[in-house]
């Protein structure tokens, strides 16, 4: 075989190898796309089963009512708007290097930290103290949240909330945030839920209230 023929043969084999590699890549891309579509279909089917009330009851350590079964249990934090009083003292002094200081929660604070007195010795100052109510969202309790065929239950370290579904005025869910509106709730109250099914809370709530609860009536 001449040198030219050898070059042509090598070039042909290289071309075939490139073609084969391209075909393999295309085949893998198709397989990945099909697998992704299969996973999406499985996830949609799983969610539809929950929405349809096709949920198996779970075992919990809480004492439930007769004929009551739990379907979802999550770790939860109860959040609410909490008011606090902030005091601020503003003063003027004729002595140099004296600045105004703020009183927050009864502790006098200055540029160098906590001070023992409200005024520097030898200075003449006039001060005005004002109070302001500030609201902020804080954790007020933590515990477990359950959805059963009869009730919404929050078992906290400080309080227990037990609501039959007709007692719940409205609900809204956003990811792991569950807002349960009921008579006597705290200002801006909501629950942060944690666990493998935290993002499915809305699916479980709708599936239970629209199918399991109605089927039991």
Q: What is the DSSP string of 161-176?
A: EEEEGGGEEEEEEETT
Query: Is the residue at 64 inside a domain?
Result: no
Residues 171 and 191 grouped into a single domain: yes
Residues 116 and 207 grouped into a single domain: no
What's the structural domain count of the chain?
3
Query: Is the residue at 93 inside a domain?
Result: yes
Residues 101 and 171 grouped into a single domain: no
Residues 88 and 76 grouped into a single domain: no
Query: Is the residue at 207 inside a domain?
Result: yes
- How much is the pLDDT for 2? 66
Residues 75 and 165 grouped into a single domain: yes
Cβ proximity of 120 and 97 under 8 Å: no
Query: Is the residue at 152 inside a domain?
Result: yes
Residue 21's CB: how many other CB atoms inside 10 A? Answer: 10
CATH of the domain at 198: 2.30.29.30
Closest CA to 105 of 84, 80, 128: 84
Residues 142 and 128 grouped into a single domain: no
Q: Return the beta strands (E) in 14-124 as ranges.
A: 70-93, 102-104, 107-110, 113-114
pTM metric for this prediction: 0.69
- How much is the pLDDT for 130? 81
Residues 24 and 124 grouped into a single domain: no
Residues 3 and 23 grouped into a single domain: yes
Residues 174 and 100 grouped into a single domain: no
Dist. CA 152–CA 148, nearest whole Å: 7
The dihedral through the CA atoms of 5, 6, 11, 14 has a sign that is: positive
Tens digit of each residue's pLDDT, the chain (217 residues)? 666 666 666 667 777 788 888 888 888 898 899 999 999 999 999 999 999 999 999 999 999 999 999 999 999 999 999 988 877 777 765 555 544 444 444 444 444 444 344 444 555 667 788 888 888 999 999 999 999 999 999 999 999 999 999 999 999 999 999 999 999 999 999 999 999 999 999 999 999 999 999 766 5
Dist. CA 59–CA 71, nearest whole Å: 9
Residues 78 and 170 grouped into a single domain: yes
Residue 216's CB: how many other CB atoms inside 10 A? Answer: 11
Cα 27 to Cα 14, 17, 32, 35, distances in angstroms: 20, 15, 9, 12
The domain of 207 spans 70-82+137-216
Query: Is the residue at 60 inside a domain?
Result: no
Dist. CA 204–CA 95, nearest whole Å: 67
Dist. CA 104–CA 117, nearest whole Å: 14
Residues 156 and 207 grouped into a single domain: yes
Dist. CA 15–CA 51, nearest whole Å: 54
Query: Is the residue at 58 inside a domain?
Result: no
Task: Burial-class residue 4 by CB neighbours within 10 Å (0-12, 13-18, 19+).
Answer: exposed
Helices (H), 59-143: none
Residues 96 and 193 grouped into a single domain: no
């Amino acid at each position: 075989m001449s040198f030219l023929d050898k070059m042509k043969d090598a070039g042909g084999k290289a071309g075939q190898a490139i073609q084969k590699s391209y075909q393999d890549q295309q085949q893998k891309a198709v397989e990945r796309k099909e697998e992704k579509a299969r996973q999406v279909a499985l996830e949609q089917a799983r969610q539809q089963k929950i929405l349809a009330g096709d949920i198996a009851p779970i075992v919990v350590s809480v004492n439930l009512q007769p004929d009551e079964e739990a379907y979802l249990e999550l770790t939860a934090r109860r959040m609410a708007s909490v008011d606090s009083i902030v005091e601020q003292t503003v003063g003027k002094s004729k002595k140099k290097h004296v600045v105004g200081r703020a009183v927050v929660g009864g502790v006098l604070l200055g540029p160098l930290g906590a001070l023992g007195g409200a005024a520097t010795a030898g200075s003449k100052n006039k001060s005005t103290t004002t109070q302001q109510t500030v609201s902020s969202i804080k954790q007020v309790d933590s515990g477990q949240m359950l959805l059963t065929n009869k009730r919404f239950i929050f078992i906290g370290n400080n309080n227990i909330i037990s609501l039959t579904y007709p007692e719940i005025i409205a609900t809204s869910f956003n990811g792991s945030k569950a807002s349960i509106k009921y008579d006597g709730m705290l200002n801006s109250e909501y629950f942060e839920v944690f666990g493998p099914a935290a993002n499915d809370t809305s699916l479980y709530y709708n599936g239970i209230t629209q199918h399991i609860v109605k089927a039991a009536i």
